[in-house]
Amino acid sequence: MLLVIDVGNTNITLAVMENGEVVGSFRLTTKTPRTSDEFGLQVLGLLGARGIVKEKIEDVIISSVVPGVMYSLQSGIIKYLGKTPLVVGAGVKTGIRIVTGNPREIGADRIVDAAAAYELYGGPVFVIDYGTATTYDLILEDGSFAAGITSPGIGICANALWNETAKLPEIEIKKPASILAKETVSSMQAGLVYGYIGQTEYIIRQVKKEAGMPDLKVVATGGLGKIIADETDLIDIYDPMLTMKGLWSIYMKNKKQ
């Protein structure tokens, strides 16, 4: 079994994979400070809750966009699982070639998503990840990472709405019954969800137009992505485990080497 870990700005997502399939997944909050012992014990506890003993974990791979977490996390994995994780970064084979202006600026999470979408669904492919930030990435037929677009995530937009206004309440992010809202909560939900559907559809159409790829396949992932994917026919595939599958794919490429 392989333990794959994706350290995002909001959550740390862990999954146990076997033969390319997710057999168990878990989440931790990224912003909670933890020592290596706390990380190690929490990981063991999460595995134990699924009946997975540490001896079954053959290796570990990590993708991270939060450098401050990495020392304690890696140390905890080494100390409690006895494995030195493979960390996605320079020198790691991914199957994706970066052709943008500054390759080092592309986050590991985007490379992992691109690797998964390209391997599973082929290229060219347009990958959308609805995370803390929403990222839109164009991968060409030869696996080149050609372009990327970044916007504030739905959660960031929602937080700004209720934190920066005096009277608007904190709300659940979901699609309201109608865009014709008649009270505050549904009006905020309508603005967030329908506004994001509009952003998504416009960016997809514009990318297809400027890239000259009218039949470009669109693959989406990310926790809140399902809300959007269910409401537009411009997203062809919604794969909530795309990042985990990408980490598996990258691990296998490097294991073979």
Start-to-end Cα distance in the chain: 19
Is the pLDDT confidence value at 134 over 70?
Answer: yes
* pLDDT of the residue at 206: 98
Looking at the chain, the whole-number percentage of residues with pLDDT higher than 70 is: 98
As a whole number, mean pLDDT of residues 215-241 equals 94
Is residue 101 located within the same domain as residue 209? yes
Model confidence pLDDT, tens digit, residues 165-209: 988 899 899 999 999 999 999 999 999 999 999 999 999 999 999
CA 199 to chain CA centroid, Å, is: 19
- Of 68, 87, 106, which residue is a domain's last? 87
User: What is residue 71's DSSP assignment?
Assistant: H
CATH code, 60: 3.30.420.40
pLDDT beyond 90 at 106: no
102-111: average pLDDT: 84
Element (H, E) at 3: strand 2-7
Question: Beta 86-87 vs 59-64: how paired, if at all?
Answer: parallel
Which pLDDT tens digit goes with each residue over 23-78? 999 999 999 999 999 999 999 999 999 899 999 999 999 999 999 999 999 999 99
Report pLDDT for 256: 61
Catalytic position from the list 6, 109, 113, 239: 109
Q: Are 43 and 117 within one domain?
A: no
The domain total for the chain is: 2
The mean pLDDT of the chain is 93
Distance CA 175, CA 193 (A): 6
Q: Measured on CA atoms in the order 225, 231, 232, 237, is the torsion positive or negative?
A: positive
Two tokens, residue 188: 């905020």
With respect to residue 251, please indicate whether it lies within any of the assigned structural domains. no
Cβ-proximal residues to 135 (8 Å cutoff; 6+ apart), any chain: 107, 109, 110, 113, 127, 128, 129, 148, 149, 150
Range of the domain at 51: 2-87
The pLDDT assigned to 46 comes to 94
State pTM to two decimals. 0.90
Does residue 92 lie within any of the structural domains? no
Provide the pLDDT for residue 257. 57
Residue holding tokens 């399939």? 21
| 109 flagged as catalytic | yes
